[in-house]
Chain A
Amino acid sequence: MHLTDAERAMRDGERGPAVARAMDLLIRYGEALGAERLIEVTNVAGTWSSTTPWVQAGLDRPDDFATIFSRFNLDSDETVEMPPAVVPTCQLIHGIDTRNWQLQGFTADQAALQRRSEAHFGRRGVQWMSTCTPYQVGNTPLKGEHCAWMESSAVVWINAVIGARSNVEGRESTGAAAITGRIPLFGLHIAENRRASHRVRVECPPETMMDWGLLGYAVGEMVMEEIPVLAGIAARPRPIFLKHFGAAAASSGGVEMYHIPGITAEAQSEAEALGGRAPAHDHVYSPAERRRAWENLQSASDDAVDFVMLGCPHNSAEQMIEIARLLDGRRISPNTRLWVHTPRQIRALCDDGGITAAIEAAGARVMSDSCPAINRALPPGTRVVATDSAKQAHYLPAIAGVQVWFGSLEHCIDAALTGRWRGGP
């Protein structure tokens, strides 16, 4: 792989041992990809989370952040301290809610360790946005900006909706990118790789949040890791619909980029989305495909719901207001728990605006920083879950061994209030 003089100097240790280890990893990674060279990135989103049992395994002291950083953010056997990040760098979703840790079953020591890790890496430039949706709390790269982001649902957002450029990176590559400002030139960093190869003719136009989740789940299975263009979307979606669509498509498949002519950043027309070529594959999304996606998302048979999970990807402020309105003056079932997840910055907004109080007055809890799929923290005894998230419905059975109902926000609120699942396609 070709390296610039500056990159060779980094590899050879001129900017210290951590940067040298980072370059070593980026070179191994770039060569694995078959990349010709590295590219400069100006925005990094990754994870420096230090509290999970696996990251903690084998440490002499739990706050040995240098060892954690070296092992898991650089894949380095040599222990090095993290130097300051050289580009804007943010922390994605992690394991412990620093306010609701007790409810999640964590100890005071674990919560304190989380806060210490935030201060440790925060001083080195990591912004603890602590959400899977940094784009909802001010981290919005520009069109064409090269980024190194983790979190499949966020990567597909910045690629498709904004037109920034990132592959789905991992913990180790974003750890290296933050202190070098480099990532291998591959995949979606290259303009010609951003065109659609699949066309999905949408004969069953999505209207609701649930519809967009179902469409995303079906499209992910159709195209896997390829790029689709959706034909036949007439009504402009709300931003939250695209958030749900992308997260679902990145769960059932590996969709990192898509086009909706007239709506997403790099497709004024279907022809532009396809780069002037005919689609290599044509698919149809009809009511039958919608129905199949709905059925594939259901893993529950018992209609007695123990736990309702909302906010995957993390809720926007408008979603929080909608939930507060649906819960207004009502009380959730004594047999059911309802957790509503939103970024800590939006939680602050909801705290000040009376939204948190309205939601919690109904017996629900407003949670941040994490989610049950990330930390496996569900209310004790949970067997049956209801969620409005296709992503959560996809992953929770494998991660937490629970049955999951997928449906609309209204279905989920009804389940929380009655303790029964009465949703349908």
Chain B
Amino acid sequence: MAGEKKEHELIVSVSPHVKGEETVSRIMWSVSLALLPAFLMSLYYFGPGALFVTALCVITSVLAEYLYQKALEKKITVSDGSSFLTGLLLGMNLPPSLPFYIPIAGSFMAVVITKQLFGGLGYNIFNPALIGRAFLLITWPKAMTIWKEPTAIFVALDAKTTATPLGILKEEGIGKLLEAFGDKSNLYMQLLLGNRAGSVGETSVVALLLGAAFLLYRRYITWHIPLSFLGTVALIAWVFGGKGAFFTGDPVIHLLSGGLILGAFFMATDYVTCPSIRKGQIIFGIGCGAVTMLIRLKGGYPEGVMFAILIMNCFAPLIDRAVKTVPFGTVKK
């Protein structure tokens, strides 16, 4: 090659050399899009309150991230959508009628304490939105358990409050629940649609499953965590959920109520806070399901999904260590 200079023939770069089109921000915005149907259903059932709470969470979360990064002179990463998604998930996990300062405190706890203090996206140990919610539940236990009755009319100013189906189930038993909803098939139907009291975005199972199907189709999430989570809940509900005898429980009510669908598909599957090895993810899902049912059936709270995911978040690094595959040929010391 006598001095001949060929440009762009040999490019020296560090790996990875083959890049996919998926980026962090694309995944974050897609998950947010997947939550849209459930959010629209909540607007239909809970009206302006749902919009107010969710919008406030989103705005304050994004703002908190922006101000934090500005103050510490870090790169501003607001546009990657992760703080938007955190705010959206937090909002969808809150009751639809709250005074304005509660969502703001939750956003601060989620974005600044749980995520940014640990080094930002990718380093947080706990799911930010769930820590935000757990913090609010413990700080304002009264306000956080006032559930608005769904009205299906957009401007219902005189909203009534009521208990969530799981609350009724815990306090008064299944008889009262059936009385409130008529018969069993109607109960299932209303739970599927989301016509019941609960957090803003957790009620409409159909809309959530639609979003989850989109994420599964795009392979942003895999079946491992949701399936092992839901399977464990169904199994425990069936075996221990009944009154008196074993194997008389109703798994369908437990599957369709509370924040289970939202938690299993959208929050337990958070890449950062779940184990990264498939086998570990199944253990993680089973653990989430077991703790959820332990709290629902025996604990002091009617709903356990949030605490279950948070408790398993603590164990995620340990699970990852335990299931780490040993390279072929390694000699045991």
Q: Do A and B come from one complex?
A: no
